[in-house]
A and B are shown apart, each in its own frame.
Chain A
């Protein structure tokens, strides 16, 4: 008996319009991910990795094809519905952390919870739990500018998981970190996948980062090679 994929991309097509005409990013692209899979998406710059990641997260609309996440078809959904779905289903982690500079770590982690019907006590409990999980509890009262890159990325991961979304989308999460810190962050991601059954799609240029994933997909010239296995 086969297990239904958690993420399923079918015949996806994306093109950009520029002054020089249309630029095709990818076409008829298919792939699927089971729940609790950790997949690295690699490929040269401009190959459309981030575009595909954002499309799965509902931030980018496709020009053709469909995307199902957790059995829900997201193509054609309204902006308001997509926002609500994203708040419940997706956790984003970015290369440059993208923390709110005016908020401390706790405030940043709490941001997604403001969209959910939770009281202040429950929000505080969840913030502390997420911070504990990524080992940043001691920095909750600090602002982003008072933290190192690694600490900021831990805060960003805590923010991504605080509302307990099943899918984490990571765009070069270690691109701005040194080797040792990258390893710590990737270990956290792997733990989230194995222990908490988070499904993770991670865009990376770094082959050593990709090795933390279960499988490696390569996107190049509009074609996706899904045969790659991590070492």
Chain B
């Protein structure tokens, strides 16, 4: 029998108490892992990209801009690259199969986002050359079973066609993957030119403009120049980083990252109190066992290591079980969270933070009661009968 086996036997001895404690820690770390995965994905986001800036209508990003704004922006000093996008949306077969479809200027858009997506050169050229084609994100293609070459009908009741039809049919020219797990692969890209010609209303309008500053120009400086330029126009603009822009629509729910951290802190503190009080009680109930170990020749340090080791083992087993549960939950939730927190996953970083917190929790909860227990006079403990 080794010291580890002794710890194992001790954990099994108070099995009901330890099981309940274990369950509470499992739940806490499942919560911890899930929220951390969310917080990290939300914090990094799909749109962390480089120095890209987004220019939208100052009234609201749902308000359209005239396409002439894009031409003006492209000519402005300090602007290196520029492209634009317009929201198409639509759905496949049923309204619940809602799609994130953007009508883009293919050449300039792929030039700006080329590093974010993985696409074969053949697929890229095919998309550029065919105005009736669509580029599909891999996760969306997978969920609907689309393949390159398929013809897919998209429905859109919000944007009417000039010919009165509700169906927009596209040929899948390529399926792109994200260059990193954080890249959102649920999007579809169609040609703006074709879209603009086919739609009945809002012609020659776009949703937003994407820019990259020229060499030596700071993004913020460029953004201010753009907004200043349109200051006297009917459609004034606001320019912000792409990251801020992509989070604007979720900001209505409040600062999710802040809320996440608050929930985590509250859960962790509650857990610390529960584990500490249960551990203190358990150690107090075992003061006689501790006295016997000391009488047998176990030093204070050795008894401390055994007691704290038990705590570490319990918190470690439960903590990793909780993280495992979190991994399952995150994997299940990731597809539906892709807009808010793309690439949500239990990363090595999260495991590291969790491991450190487990150690802190286990030691903080057990060190003081264990120290108090070993400092008791052995003969007093043994005489209590």
A180-229: which residues lie under 8 A (CB-CB) from chain B? none
Interface pair B299/A80, CB less than 8 Å apart: yes
- Among B13, B297, B383, the one with the most A-chain Cβ atoms within 10 Å of its Cβ is B297
- Among B2, B291, B293, B301, the one with the most A-chain Cβ atoms within 10 Å of its Cβ is B293
Q: Which residues of B contact A101 (CB under 8 A)?
A: 13
In the bound complex, CA of A92 to CA of B297 (Å): 10
Shortest CB-to-CB span from A55 to chain B, Å, is 8
When C-beta atoms are compared, the residue in chain A nearest to B13 turns out to be A102
When C-beta atoms are compared, the residue in chain A nearest to B292 turns out to be A98
**Is A153 part of the binding interface, using a Cβ–Cβ cutoff of 8 Å?**
no
In the bound complex, CA of A144 to CA of B254 (Å): 59
Shortest CB-to-CB span from B319 to chain A, Å, is 23
**Is B295 part of the binding interface, using a Cβ–Cβ cutoff of 8 Å?**
yes
Interface pair B382/A98, CB less than 8 Å apart: yes
- Take A60-B379, A107-B1 as given contacts and tell me if A115 and B10 are in contact as well, using a CB distance cutoff of 8 Å: no
**Is B296 part of the binding interface, using a Cβ–Cβ cutoff of 8 Å?**
yes
In the bound complex, CA of A103 to CA of B6 (Å): 8
**Is A151 part of the binding interface, using a Cβ–Cβ cutoff of 8 Å?**
no
Q: Which residues of B contact A123 (CB under 8 A)?
A: 1
Secondary structure call for the B interface: helix
When C-beta atoms are compared, the residue in chain B nearest to A124 turns out to be B1
Q: Which residues of B contact A115 (CB under 8 A)?
A: 296-298, 302
- Take A101-B13, A114-B3 as given contacts and tell me if A59 and B292 are in contact as well, using a CB distance cutoff of 8 Å: no
Secondary structure call for the A interface: helix
In the bound complex, CA of A59 to CA of B2 (Å): 25
Interface pair B301/A112, CB less than 8 Å apart: no
**Is A137 part of the binding interface, using a Cβ–Cβ cutoff of 8 Å?**
no
Q: Which one of A84, A94, A100 contacts B382 once the chains associate, using CB atoms below 8 Å? A: A94
In the bound complex, CA of A98 to CA of B385 (Å): 9
Shortest CB-to-CB span from A39 to chain B, Å, is 19
Shortest CB-to-CB span from B78 to chain A, Å, is 72
Q: Which one of B2, B10, B385 contacts A102 once the chains associate, using CB atoms below 8 Å? A: B10
Interface pair B13/A87, CB less than 8 Å apart: no
Interface pair B385/A96, CB less than 8 Å apart: yes
Q: Which residues of B contact A84 (CB under 8 A)?
A: 297, 299
Shortest CB-to-CB span from A200 to chain B, Å, is 16
Which residues of B pack against A, CB within 8 Å? 1-3, 6, 9-10, 12-13, 288-289, 291-302, 377-379, 382-383, 385
- Some 8 contacts from A to B, beta carbons below 8 A apart, are A54-B379, A60-B379, A83-B302, A86-B295, A87-B298, A100-B9, A114-B3, A115-B302
Q: A51-B379, A83-B297, A86-B297 are in contact. List 12 more A-B contacts (CB 8 A).
A: A50-B383, A54-B379, A83-B299, A83-B302, A84-B299, A88-B297, A95-B385, A101-B13, A103-B9, A111-B293, A112-B296, A114-B6
